[in-house]
Amino acid sequence: MVVDWAVGDGTCVEAQNNMSSYACKSLNSTCKEPDNGYGYRCYCDEGFQGNPYLDGGCQDIDECLDPNNKCEKGCKNIPGNYTCTCPEGYNGDGLKNGRGCIRGESFIFKLVAGIALGFIVLLLGACWLYLELKRRKLITMKQKFFLQNGGLMLQEQLIRRDYSPDTMKIFTSAELKKATNNFHDDRIIGQGGFGTVYKGFLSDNRIVAIKKSKEVDPNQIEQFINEVIVLSQINHKNVVRLFGCCLETQVPLLVYEFINNGTLFEHINNETKAHALSWDKRLTIATEAAGVLAYLHSAASPPIIHRDVKSANILLDNNFTAKLSDFGASRLVPEDQTRLSTMVQGTFGYLDPEYMQTNQLTEKSDVYSYGVVLVELLTGKKALSYERPEKERNLASYFLSRLNQGRLYRVLEDNIVSEGNNEQLMAVAMLAKRCLYVRGEDRPSMKEVAMELEGLRLSKKHYSLQTQPNAEVMESLLFRPMNGFAKGEGNTIGTAGYNSMRDHIQLPMGGGR
């Protein structure tokens, strides 16, 4: 039999409402309710012992008298508990199962802590000073490059011409570093003789192509700034738009719109893409490229000679619209001059032979290079390739040789011949031949080329009487069997030492940059 008991039949809260009858009289007592019935019971608090039903009945227990307490050396009793202490000269928590009391650690600890704190403060100060000096040096360097690259001159011209930020923006180097992930190799979308092109994402979500030039002649900064101003104002659907530039770096950075369908070179020389590039598309691309070059030569003020016309510098958007790009080698033509004396620059396989010999740059130099692009569209071959036999390495020479032998069909691309546009192919081939004449004055202007190609697009039978052969000659040229190989007319040049990473030539022939 178990005897159980409780005080009253109410809860602790109810009992405490009537202190005269409340049974837990001791100050250090606690009221608890049993789990198996009504009423309540009184208990002494932890660390106290005695009778909780008497006033002052619960007395403090002196735990320090217990030899089994947790203190290693000193013990101090407090109401309901105790604390462990260490003698003077000792440091620690004083617990047997803790750090205990260790002699002299306090001084060493304070000394080490002080030295460590001083070192940390000194290190942080040195880092701050280094970063501040580096920041100031970077700012000074940016200002130096900005002035060196004609920043003040550009700002003055922008203010004088009242250009809006939408027309031409001067970007900071920080903006373009962020846009290209600090010019990471993964962002490279093109490399050539004049520089590297990176894909970038601006803060306004625009996707751009950022060109980092290899070098800029400091003696030609004024001309460079003028080119930037002029190119930023070219509003032509077949020219890659220039959004702005950055002059805070060692070489200026140019920011263009991003064209995402690759270059004409890639489409011509990739077997899969070439099959999708029908003759109609090729003729349209050729017409658009000729039209924009005619615009640069005739309508732009002042006129602009591109000087590096090639299939790799003709970009294509998703609709296969041609976009002329890479004006890094371009030159403005002064109003009182039709020829410019300048260092020979360009790409092997596209260089005007007259320009190389005379060092005189004219609009007809672009015409020759454009003629090579026409031949690429007709043949689907690279302008210069050392993988081909020696006589076929220079495409322009090989093409003219076959054309003059009446064996044009041998070099035309099979999939465009199969489309049955023989008359158009012959007309474009004859136009390419005229563009490739050795003497520049014998070549047509780009305006004439554009008009002739536009006429071919509008009508398959409407050609210029100057270039259209009769039906018998056309048939003979296209389909006469090949009996041998003869040399060309000598109106193109051969080149040597070609390398895809060094596909440009710069011959120091005096004058200009």
Say how many CA atoms lie within 13 Å of 186 toward its Cβ: 4
What DSSP element (H or E) covers 323?
strand 322-324
Half-sphere exposure of 87 (CA within 13 A, CB side): 4
Catalytic, out of 93, 280, 308, 414: 308
CB atoms within 10 A of CB 93: 16
Cα angle for residues 47, 50, 52 (degrees, 5° grid): 100
Nearest alpha-carbon partner for 322 in 373, 388, 384, 371: 373
CB atoms within 10 A of CB 66: 12
Report the distance separating Cα 278 and Cα 283, nearest Å: 9
* Residue 195: strand, helix, or coil: strand
Q: Is 308 among the residues known to form the active site?
A: yes
7 Rama class: left (phi>0) / alpha (psi -120 to 50) / beta: beta
Whether 207 and 215 have beta carbons less than 8 Å apart is answered as no
- Helix H or strand E encompassing 279: helix 279-294
As a whole number of angstroms, the distance between CA 66 and CA 37 comes to 37
Q: Among 354, 330, 339, which residue's Cα sits nearest to residue 439?
A: 354
Nearest to 280 by CA among 416, 484, 101: 416
* Strand stretches in 56-143, DSSP E: 58-60, 74-78, 81-85, 90-91, 102-103
Taking the C-alpha atoms of residue 193 and residue 214, their distance in angstroms, rounded to an integer, is 8
| Cα dihedral 277, 282, 288, 289 in deg (nearest 10) | 100
Using alpha carbons, select from 313, 304, 177, 292 the residue that is nearest to residue 246: 177
Beta-strand runs (E) in 22-153 = 29-32, 41-44, 48-50, 58-60, 74-78, 81-85, 90-91, 102-103
CA atoms within 13 A on the CB side of 208: 26
**Residues 85, 105 contacting (CB under 8 angstroms):** no
**Which residues are designated catalytic?**
308
